[in-house]
Amino acid sequence: MKIANYELIFQKRTFSITGFRAIAYRILFVIFGLMTVGFIFLLNGINPLDLFFLSNRSMLRIILILLPHTFVSFIPLLCIAIGLAIPFKARIDNIGAEGQFIMGMLAATWTAMEFPDLPSIVLIPLMFLNGFILGAIWALPVVFFRAKGGFQGADVVVSFLMVFPALYLMQYLVSGPWRDPATGFAFSKILPESAQIPGIPIEIYVPFLDATWNFDPVHISIFLVLIIALVTYYYLFRTEEGIPKTKIGYEINVTGKNPLAGRMAGISFFKVILISMIISGGLAGIAGVAEIAGNKLRLTVNSAGYGFTAIVVAYLGGLNPIGIIFSALFFAALISGGTAINLTGLPVSALDMFSGIILFYVLLSEFFFRYTIKWRRS
């Protein structure tokens, strides 16, 4: 590419960047992303330095004060993003996790209302099981379109459009059959005591913030999702010298990198899609169950949109469960910091800009793993 007297050259690196340098590159590009968002805020007459760090109502301060809330959003983000990383790795673009998440919430509510007399130790696992099943069912159309569809993008569109039936089904149930007559709003009944996942009863007073961290809202599903992260890492993502250790992990990797070679080697494309989509939908469903039984305790007409943020979380985490733990923490913190944006008078949806721009920069950073840029006078 030529600009005036100078020429821009992309030069392929002899060795692509991996390991800690790759992480450093990602962090650098996230900082570029935050600077870009800051610039957009500046154009809107808001000082980004005040908004991010300096003022008394800065995002940083609010994130620290609301630390327990950060963990509350961390739970669904981590669970969905790990589920998404599996199909993404196989180049299956499941962007409908939001719908699968909602179906998980519906499954949890239905199970809890149907069997309120079961003891917790039976009921809660049953809710998780049903959430997994319903979430996985909601992901199945993507398998069909990916395997059968003769054109690019159909699977993406279908996975996204499946969000709407789920959302409207929830709206219908909440405003009709499942509505709690005791409130004037479109809410379902609060889940029975036996279906509620308990929180962590810890309170810490933090002197430098002059605030108390109350970890009671953080439900113990956090341990479940961390275990899920480690288990998926062990069985699907663990590598030795860059090659996945397990058979299925290897098959997923090959399907993503070179489907033709995979087919030649006898890897069933359909099997890989089916397995990765079932796990992906199921994990989103589990996140929905945890959210409803641990945090919200009743259905409402809308959902928090974790399914979309989780896409960015998965990519920022490098499609690897360990990286995703950190990127989920980062985005959970951004969500609690969103309160600060609200205090400046801007709508909370401005928070989406962070996700969008950071996703662009993460994509761009991957380019520099394999290429360098040089300017040359021509």
Minimum separation from the CB atom of position 50 to other proteins (A): 17
**Angle, vertex CA 295, rays to CA 293 and CA 299, nearest 5:** 65
Whole-number Å distance between alpha carbons of 289 and 127: 7
The C-alpha atoms of residue 90 and residue 257 are separated, in whole angstroms, by 7
Q: Residues 26, 328: contact at Cβ < 8 Å?
A: no
Min separation Cβ 3 and other proteins, Å: 12
Q: What is the DSSP letter of 192?
A: P
Dist. CA 294–CA 221, nearest whole Å: 7
Residues that bind other proteins (CB under 8 A): 1, 40, 44, 93, 95, 141, 144-145, 148-154, 156-158, 160-165, 168-169, 171-172, 175-176, 308, 311-312, 315, 345-357, 359-360, 363-364, 366-367
Can you tell me the distance from the alpha carbon of 67 to that of 78, in angstroms, rounded to the nearest whole number? 16
Angle (nearest 5°) at CA 183 between 181 and 184 = 100
Q: Least distance in Å: CB of 274 to other proteins?
A: 17
Shortest spacing between CB 219 and other proteins, in angstroms: 28
The residue (of 125 and 153) whose beta carbon lies closer to other proteins is: 153
Of 123 and 319, which CB lies nearer to other proteins in the complex structure?
Answer: 319
Residue whose CB is less far from other proteins, 18 or 349: 349
Of 3 and 121, CB closest to other proteins: 3
* Least CB distance to other proteins at residue 345 (A): 8
Q: Which is nearer to other proteins, 297 or 353 (CB)?
A: 353
As measured in angstroms, the least distance from the Cβ of 201 to other proteins is 37
- Integer CA distances (angstroms), 99 to 96, 105, 208, 321, in order: 6, 10, 41, 22
Q: Which is nearer to other proteins, 98 or 225 (CB)?
A: 98
> Which residue in 291, 122, 294 sits closest to 219, CA to CA?
294
Task: Work out the number of other CB atoms within 10 angstroms of the CB of residue 94.
Answer: 30
Find the shortest distance in angstroms from Cβ 315 to other proteins. Answer: 6
The one-letter amino acid at 165:
P
Instruction: Name the residue nearer to other proteins (CB basis): 163 or 228.
Output: 163
